[in-house]
Amino acid sequence: MTNNLLEIRDLHKSYGAVEVLKGVDCTMRQGDVVSIIGSSGSGKTTMLRCINMLEEFEGGTISIDGQAIGYEIVNGQRRRKSEREIARQRALTGMAFQQFNLFPHMSAVGNVMLGLVKVKKIGRDEARAVAETWLDRVGLRERAEHYPGQLSGGQQQRVAIARAIAMNPKLMLFDEVTSALDPELVNEVLQVIKNLAQDGMSMLLVTHEMRFAYEVSNRVIFMNQGRIGEEGNPREMFHKPGTERLAEFLKSSTFN
Ligand SMILES: Nc1ncnc2c1ncn2[C@@H]1O[C@H](COP(=O)(O)OP(=O)(O)OP(=O)(O)O)[C@@H](O)[C@H]1O
Ligand SMILES: [Mg+2]
């Protein structure tokens, strides 16, 4: 048994003949905030997608809270778990993406309630109360009845984050949630994530916002060509990069 929240061992993932993850290891404890940085194409999104089984992977193991994700060994053979089991495991994580993917025909509160009612089978009144609490936490109490088309990009992204967190995941995965936003809307979303981090939410986040990674994370992972190039606490990583690769990457990014 382990008391790690997330444990990734020797993760391998290919798309066809192209190996994209070449043996990734990563562990997180409850309450950790880990940022993943690295060049385009280094495998950051793929890693997150493997964690919640949006992608299959051929080698290595991922476990969350001690549960092996996606695959089991039966009579010495590795095989995919049942879809029902995978769906259950997927609920251990919540995910927010660059594209918020809200349902346009539902209000903000309707979007946040949906999974609570349909997946968690919570009654509508209680689901609404939970949804309103989370919308309040992301600063959108006044916007609960607005439709996505009536909200700014930053507000829509905050609804999407509330929707994921309302499901009570053990680990939140964020993939460049500010990349599609106008610059003036980035901070309101980053502030919401910072507040959640301060409240003890465990999170693994891919970001191009180096200043944010520096301020919010207790560990930073630098992905380089499908491997972890370097990892450590943000101060060491940003001020004393241990590899030439990371130093170059930081030079080319905007950390001021
Ligand atoms: N569905 C797919 N089919 C084939 N190749 C893919 C697929 N998704 C990603 N790849 C390839 O896998 C590699 C890693 O992609 P990934 O999206 O994980 O990178 P990333 O680090 O998230 O990049 P970015 O910073 O641009 O988002 C890239 O070379 C990409 O072209
Ligand atoms: Mg990506």
Q: Where are the domains of the chain?
A: 6-252
Q: Which of 13, 18, 20, 210 to mutate to test the pocket of ligand 1 (most atoms within 8 A of CB)?
A: 20
20 lines ligand 1 (CB under 6 A): yes
Mean pLDDT, rounded, for 164-175: 97
Q: What is the mean pLDDT of the chain?
A: 95
Strand partners, 11: 24
31 lines ligand 1 (CB under 6 A): no
Q: What is the pLDDT of residue 3?
A: 82
Q: What is the pLDDT of residue 171?
A: 98
Mean pLDDT, rounded, for 247-255: 87
Q: What is the pLDDT of residue 174?
A: 97
Q: What is the pLDDT of residue 2?
A: 64
Confidence of residue 253 (pLDDT cuts 50, 70, 90): confident
Ligand nearest to the backbone CA of 14? 1
Confidence of residue 1 (pLDDT cuts 50, 70, 90): low
Ligand nearest to the backbone CA of 208? 1
Picking from 74, 169, 161, the residue whose alpha carbon sits closest to that of residue 120 is 169
52 lines ligand 1 (CB under 6 A): no
Right CATH number for 6-252 from 1.10.3720.10, 3.30.160.20, 3.40.50.300, 3.40.718.10?
A: 3.40.50.300
Question: Is the model's pLDDT at 235 over the cut of 90?
Answer: yes
239 lines ligand 1 (CB under 6 A): no
Cβ atoms within 10 Å of 194's Cβ, excluding its own: 15
Longest dimension (CA), the chain: 56
Condensed to tens digits (0 to 9), the pLDDT of residues 122-138 reads: 999 999 999 999 999 99
Atom 26, ligand 1: which residue's CA is nearest?
40
Percent of the chain with pLDDT over 90: 95
- pTM, two decimal places: 0.95
- Provide the CA 44 distance to its chain's centre, in angstroms: 10
| CA 204–ligand 1 middle distance (angstroms) | 18
Picking from 114, 115, 119, 112, the residue whose alpha carbon sits closest to that of residue 136 is 112
168: tokens are 């009570």
Condensed to tens digits (0 to 9), the pLDDT of residues 64-106 reads: 999 999 999 999 999 999 999 999 999 999 999 999 999 999 9
Give the DSSP letter string of the chain: ----SEEEEEEEEEETTEEEEEEEEEEE-TT-EEEEEE-TTSSHHHHHHHHTTSS--SEEEEEETTEEPSEEEETTEEEEPPHHHHHHHHTTEEEE-SS----TTS-HHHHHHHHHHHTS---HHHHHHHHHHHHHHTT-GGGTT--GGGS-HHHHHHHHHHHHHHT--SEEEEESTTTTS-HHHHHHHHHHHHHHHHTT--EEEE-S-HHHHHHH-SEEEEEETTEEEEEE-HHHHHHS-SSHHHHHHHHHS---
Atom 16, ligand 1: which residue's CA is nearest?
43
| CA 46–ligand 2 middle distance (angstroms) | 7
- 226 Cα nearest atom in ligand 1: 14
Mean pLDDT, rounded, for 12-35: 97
Question: Is the model's pLDDT at 6 over the cut of 70?
Answer: yes
